């Protein structure tokens, strides 16, 4: 069993013992410690799937007149020179590139090399709140880590509680709550977690965090993240 897993279970055991006489974690009886070493990822990485209104950059090697930036229409398609309409919704960029190359090959280009890059995905956002300089909703481009998300929010305030950083994530019909220590991540104690569209990141004290009244006492234990399971379906 990995060392960080052993420590997580030990921390969970300590937490449950501490809470045995004071009731459930926080004020919500539906929250319990999950035997997980990391927040589960969404079943589908939405940043890898093209949706309507996404902006793309398409390049055809050696044919600059065919390369262009465009936006996927509300119907999930876009027009491309020589080959007409291309279905984009629900597909990965590589699949779209292969489709364009196959349709160009032969009558138009002998051996086309096509790349498709995502420029903007307006519907893929996460929410940043708490003790950061610029709380709000921000787009997720490609792979984004927790430290990068905090930097996107303008960094932490001078009084931010770095040991009280929470990620709320819904996977399927289940909500998970991950508790992290930014200082521990910066020191390399454990991996910087990935942020996905739909995540809510809360740094330090906030009304949302008050339902988890045990967080302050947990902070010194976090050399591995602690994952909570919200058993009350939303």
Is 110 in the same domain as 97?
A: yes
Is 215 in the same domain as 146?
A: yes
120, 138, 162 - which closes a domain: 120
Q: CA 152 to CA 138: how far, in whole Å?
A: 8
Tokens of 121: 């995905």
pTM above 0.75, yes or no: no
Tokens of 175: 């909500």
69, 98, 120 - which closes a domain: 120
Q: Strand locations in 72-146, DSSP E? A: 77-80, 84-87, 114-120, 125-130, 136-139, 144-145
Of the candidate ranges 148-152, 161-165, 220-224, the one whose mean pLDDT is the lowest: 220-224
Asked if residue 34 has pLDDT above 80, the reply is: no
Is 130 in the same domain as 225?
A: yes
What does the pLDDT read at residue 15?
Answer: 41
User: In 10 A of CB 87, how many CB atoms?
Assistant: 15
Is 77 in the same domain as 181?
A: no
Is 104 in the same domain as 168?
A: no
What does the pLDDT read at residue 49?
Answer: 85
The mean pLDDT of 137-145, rounded to a whole number, is 87
Asked if residue 143 has pLDDT above 90, the reply is: no
- Split into its structural domains, the chain has a count of 2
What does the pLDDT read at residue 223?
Answer: 66
Is 107 in the same domain as 162?
A: no
What does the pLDDT read at residue 148?
Answer: 96
Asked if residue 6 has pLDDT above 80, the reply is: no
CA-based nearest residue to 33, from 217, 231, 232, 201: 231
């Amino acid at each position: 069993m990995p060392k960080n897993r052993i420590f997580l279970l030990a921390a969970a055991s300590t937490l449950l013992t501490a809470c045995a006489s004071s009731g459930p974690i926080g004020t919500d009886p539906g929250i319990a410690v999950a035997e997980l070493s990391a927040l589960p990822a969404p079943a589908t990485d939405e940043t890898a799937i093209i949706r309507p209104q996404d902006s793309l950059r398409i390049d055809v090697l050696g044919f600059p007149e065919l390369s262009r930036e465009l936006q996927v229409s509300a119907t999930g398609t876009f027009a491309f020179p020589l080959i007409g309409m291309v279905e984009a919704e629900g597909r990965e960029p590589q699949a779209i590139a292969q489709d364009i190359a196959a349709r160009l090959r032969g009558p138009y280009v002998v051996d086309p090399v096509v790349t498709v890059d995502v420029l903007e995905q307006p519907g893929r956002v996460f929410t940043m709140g708490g003790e950061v300089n610029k709380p709000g909703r921000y787009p997720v481009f490609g792979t984004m880590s927790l430290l990068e998300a905090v930097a996107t929010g303008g960094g932490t305030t001078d009084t931010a509680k770095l040991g009280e950083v929470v990620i709320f994530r819904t996977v399927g019909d289940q909500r998970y709550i991950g508790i992290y220590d930014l200082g521990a991540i910066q020191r390399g104690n454990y991996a910087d977690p990935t942020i996905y569209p739909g995540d809510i990141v809360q740094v330090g004290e906030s009304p949302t965090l008050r339902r988890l009244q045990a967080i302050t006492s947990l902070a010194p234990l976090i050399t591995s993240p602690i994952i909570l399971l919200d058993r009350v379906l939303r």
